[in-house]
Amino acid sequence: MSGRLIIVGGHEDKDDDSLILREVTSCADGGAVVVCTVASNERDAVWKDYKEVFSRLGCRDVRHLDIGERSEIVNDPPLELLDDASVVFFTGGEQLNITTRFAGTRLCAAVEELYRRGGTVAGTSAGASVMADTMLVSGRGSESHRIRENLFMAPGLGLLKDVLIDQHFAERGRIGRLLGAVAQNPRLLGIGIDENTAIVVDREERFSVIGEGAVYVADARNVSYTNVADEQADRTLSIFDVTLHLLSQADRFDLATRRPEHRPAEEIESRLLDLAPSANGRDGQGARRNGRNGKRRGRAAGH
């Protein structure tokens, strides 16, 4: 039985209602949250930031999995950090830092085992991209994809199969590169996640959306034509009959049937805003009133 994945598009709110990090906290259910900062080049600062916010949201046991070099965990992996842990959270940074320093180790296998036993693995920004078996590492955003532009894809951690994830999606104009990626391999379902937005994947069967932005789902399974293998290198991509879904808070998506389902956003807001004190100290009722009135004090810095 697989557990839950919480895959965040980056720059998640840490100061106001913090819906996404509340969901991470709720999954801990009294167990430890292990924050892995291996992706970041500022590991201590990132750890301090997340330790503070998770503690304020009610996590009593927040632990730091600090990996600077692969050699640090190959011979003597700190497996004890996962004892009684319910959640492992990968911060942002560079996704290749995660795969090159962490993938294939005994510690990585232990995290996967935690997930397969029903635990939660979460990640934001770079920590989101590594969840799939194929990750989109680099490639131009903000413009239409050209056929021979270099889309650098690499193996991820493989916790979610047959999916490709992109983050900071609308903010960095990445629709072109996501379509270019699924054109190259229509087997993969392309998922683009906006900032301060997440998908919560249950048992690799379906996901629901949390946050203020959108989730884009590009399904190329029934594509009738693409010029990706035929045209000159500088030609703009053509792709016919690709299906594009746009989901917002509380909407669901079935990964088996590849079909969306609408759900009222208020359901998830009410559930999460009553779970724990907010990150700035307001109680759940005060946070709910703030959320309903739509007041925001700006977005916290993400990684």
CA angle 216, 217, 218 (to 5 degrees): 115
Catalytic-role residue among 86, 168, 269, 303: 168
Catalytic-role residue among 2, 18, 125, 278: 125
User: What per-residue confidence (pLDDT) applies to 275?
Assistant: 58
Secondary structure of residue 209 in the 3-state scheme: strand
Which is more confidently placed, 202 or 232?
202
119, 93 Cβ separation under 8 angstroms: no
CATH topology of domain 4-293: Rossmann fold (3.40.50)
Residue 271 structure tokens: 């559930």
Q: Check if 23 is active-site.
A: no
Catalytic-role residue among 42, 52, 69, 143: 143
Q: Check if 12 is active-site.
A: no
Q: Give pTM, 2 decimals.
A: 0.88
- pLDDT tens digits for range 59-86: 999 999 999 999 999 989 999 999 999 9
Statement: residue 297 has pLDDT above 70 = no
Q: Check if 168 is active-site.
A: yes
Q: pLDDT over 90 for what percent of the chain?
A: 72
Amino acid at 112: E
CA angle 36, 39, 43 (to 5 degrees): 65
Pairing of strands 243-247, 225-226: unpaired
